[in-house]
Amino acid sequence: MRCLSDAEKTICLILKLQDAGAAMINVHGSTLSASKTRNGAADWSIIKQIKNKLDIPIIANEGIEKQSDIKNALNSLELMGSCLARRCLKTDPALFDQNVTSISSVDGFELAQRQLSLA
């Protein structure tokens, strides 16, 4: 879900989702308006606040651009996972492949076949 413009309202809504039976929540680190304008980076502090209030796993979405961002989300934010789509597909589809140091070093078709074999 996207964060609301107010952190407390966001936390209140997510607590209601947990109480209604949600087993896991994927939280975007930005509001819908910030995402549409591409204005500002993801606010991972709100994701950390949410994680500290809930009993269910939280997955961070947005703000993941390189492998170190994934490690930061998993370690310093103490999250279960991270999620991304648009940026990875456009700029670095090899982001999750630690054997690839640069997208220019791998054939796109070969990379797609390797990733599909893992699915």
Give tens-digit pLDDT for 19-49.
999 999 988 877 665 555 555 567 778 888 8
Evaluate if residue 89 carries a pLDDT over 70. no
Q: Give me the mean pLDDT over the 102-115 stretch.
A: 70
pLDDT band at 112, cuts 50/70/90? Answer: confident
For 43-56, how does the pLDDT look when each residue is reduced to its tens digit (9 = 90+)? 778 888 888 999 99
pLDDT of 13 above 90: yes
The residues facing 27 across adjacent strands are 60
Report which of 70, 22, 16, 19 is spatially closest to residue 44, judged by C-alpha positions: 70
Closest C-alpha among 73, 34, 84 to residue 50: 73
- Confidence check: pLDDT of 69 > 70: yes
What does pLDDT average to over the chain?
Answer: 76
